[in-house]
Amino acid sequence: MKIFLAALVFLLPFAAQSASAREGGFVAAEQADPYRHLPTPPAPSSPSNDAELAELHRIESARSEADVAKAKADADDKTVFLFRNVFGDKFAKENLPALDALGAKVARDENEAIEETKKEFHRRRPYNSDETLHPVCRTTDKDDSYPSGHATLGYVLALTLIDIVPERRDAILARADDYARSRLICGVHYPSDVAAGRLTAYAIHAVIALNARYREEAAAARAELRRALGTARAD
């Protein structure tokens, strides 16, 4: 319910604006500012922030080599085909050009929105605040931890796939949760960064879903996916 209400609040300022999207995506540039409705992340050295660091240490101490390998693979996979485990081997770029193009446009919208959001909050990465953490994925000196871009992308692409194959909703969202958790296993984000990414994704998707061109391309991707899987429904 909180996610739904936040998405509605995000939409209200744009109700009277043009639905024309910027080049290459579905969202007009002035619509890509979900940071206005995100909660402020925990302050450095606050009890909440300390608790998050403690959780990252717990995850680090428990992660296995297989966990690390999977987290690293997720860090490198930023396309809609990160959901291949939900659909099987036929769920591949060479088989699904319409879905590939749709996912790329959604990802461009997400990237523009998330970059502005990160600048607004300017949160230090956990490993830059606590040097006793040992991240296993690519690191940065930029203060851009909140929200998690990977988590946001995973959930935006998940919601796009749910528009296409709603009968796979639970499995798609489970994979998005798993993909977001990889950022914690990597040791490069706080839990609240991941939670904010999920909230941001719902807000971004709510705007994208209003775009008529998005709906047309999603319909084409739906037909393509179901042909590729050889079913009337993609199940």
Q: Domain map of the chain by residue range? A: 44-229
Question: 190: closest CA among 145, 131, 139, 155?
Answer: 145
Cα of 135 vs its chain's centroid, Å: 20
The pLDDT tens digits of the residues spanning 25-67 come to: 887 554 555 556 799 999 999 999 999 999 999 999 999 999 9
Looking at residue 154, its amino acid is: G
44-229 CATH, one of 3.90.480.20, 3.40.50.720, 1.20.144.10, 1.10.357.10: 1.20.144.10
Q: Which of 17-21, 190-194, 208-212 has the highest mean pLDDT?
A: 190-194
Contact in structure between 181 and 90 (CB atoms under 8 Å)? no
pLDDT at residue 234, rounded to an integer: 55
Predicted confidence (pLDDT) at residue 16 exceeds the cutoff of 70: no
pLDDT at residue 24, rounded to an integer: 64
Task: Work out the burial of residue 3: count CB atoms within 10 Å of its CB; fewer than 13 is exposed, 13-18 middle, 19 or more buried.
Answer: middle
Cα of 235 vs its chain's centroid, Å: 23
Helix (H, G, I), strand (E, B) or coil at 141: coil
Question: 224: closest CA among 102, 108, 134, 95?
Answer: 95
pLDDT at residue 4, rounded to an integer: 41
